[in-house]
Structure 1
Amino acid sequence: MTETLTDEAIVSRVLQGEKHLYELLMRKFNQQLYRISMSIINDDKEAEDIMQITYLNAYRQLASFKHQSSFGTWITRILINESLLHKKRKLKQEKILMENKYDDHYPETPLTNLMNKELKEALEKAFAALPEKYRIVFMMREVQGMSTAETMEALDLGESNVKIRLNRAKEMLRSELNQYQHTSQLFEFNLVRCDAVVNHVMKAIN
């Protein structure tokens, strides 16, 4: 039964030709990757695009997955690299627009489009205001429940740096976190969005 397969077993079977099983990995990690990309990009549509690129790149590199770390950690690193590259390109484009004074019609992208609850709006606004290095550690450790070791490996940080950044993020969010405890609602990736990413990637693979 595919329900009992480990991530590594699924990878092996995909490499043997069972491409359809790749969908199981995407549906498992969609929420995690979306949240982590959002902590860097802060734009839901761009985060979805980055997820699709990440899944396609991971699929193409699947044979190079050496099982030295978990599949989740491996694909998270790919996502982080892609998100940072995207952000770098975007900042460069913004700089060019500013220099050429063509930025009058370059809108900010508010997160409130998808937010229906005051709680989620308050949490996400407070979270978005954090510096990136604190946002991503907080997202990985507190929201996604990734271990310190997984976070260290994914971000190439030492244990003390992970702990310091997490504690700093908590300090900066303390008033909001004391008032609101439902961090599981942060950047929810609903089924419709999940299906859209999965269908796009599977179509490209097949």
Structure 2
Amino acid sequence: MTTQQEEIVNHITNEELIRLILAGDKAMFGVLIRRYNQRLYRIGMSILENSAETEDAMQNTYLNAYHHLSQFEHRASWETWLTRIMLNQCYELKRKNKSALTHLPAPDKFIDMNTPARDLANKELSQVLERAIGVLPDKYRLVFVLREVEEMSVRETAEVLEIGESNVKVRLNRAKAMLREHLNDYMKDHVYHFHLTRCDRIVQAVFQQLEDEE
């Protein structure tokens, strides 16, 4: 795909992409995957606290969404529908691996940035941010990531988690109270960054599994 073609595709709405996919243009599903890799990765890390398990959950989420795409009725947004699938995948995986989970992230869960020396401070800050979020209780950590990092609205967060909007606000306030005030300015740029190499890997893995099913 040329740069010009990519620019055109990037401006196509989710609804139009879904229509094209259902009409037989499977390649357009790759566009949807790339659009939501970052969001799903952050959600997965906020629940599973493990990058490998998060990527597994992401792949299963995309495959599930693809196979049930014709059942998407647009009563909720595509983002909400996809996020719910991801949450279900994460909770299922967490139940299966409950004994292996810990409250403190291990070193391999941090951002694997290959950066020059001038970016070392940012890398260290990223680790501090992830440690701070990692020690939050699950229900507060997830709301914090959805609201503050992914910038989902209170209504969207409540809809995704199937809780009341007032509950969302309470959990967010409690999460913020547990974190240092100075972390907020850096949150969006440094937490659970999903690198391009990982994005390519997720797309390739999903499409390989789809090809194997044919």
Give the paired residue count: 191
Distance 2:207 2:95 in 1: 28
What is the root-mean-square deviation in Å for CA atoms of aligned residues? Answer: 1.7
Superposition deviation, residue 9 in structure 1: 1.1
Whether the 8 Å contact between 2:83 and 2:160 is mirrored in structure 1 is yes
Which AA in structure 1 matches 2:197?
V
Distance 1:121 1:130 in 2: 15
* Structure number with higher relative contact order (C-alpha < 8 Å, ≥ 6 residues apart): 1
Whether the 8 Å contact between 2:139 and 2:171 is mirrored in structure 1 is yes
Report the TM-score, using the length of structure 2 for normalisation. 0.84
Residue ranges of structure 2 left out of the alignment (5+ in a row) = 1-7, 114-119
Counterpart of 1:204 (choices 188, 203, 209) is 209
Whether the 8 Å contact between 1:39 and 1:135 is mirrored in structure 2 is yes
Counterpart of 1:188 (choices 189, 193, 197) is 193
Judged with a 3 Å threshold, the aligned counterparts in structure 2 of structure 1 residues 191 and 113 are, in CA distance, closer, same or farther, namely closer
* Mapping of residues 16-35 of structure 1, within 5 Å: 16-35=23-42
Report the TM-score, using the length of structure 1 for normalisation. 0.88
The aligned residue for residue 14 of structure 2 is 7
Superposition deviation, residue 4 in structure 1: 2.5
Whether the 8 Å contact between 2:129 and 2:183 is mirrored in structure 1 is no
The aligned residue for residue 5 of structure 2 is none
C-alpha distance after superposition, 1:126-176 (max 9, x if no partner): 100000000100000000111111111110010000000000000001x2x
Aligned-residue identity in percent: 43
The aligned residue for residue 42 of structure 1 is 49
Structure 1 residue 167 corresponds to structure 2 residue 173: yes
Counterpart of 2:128 (choices 112, 122, 135) is 122
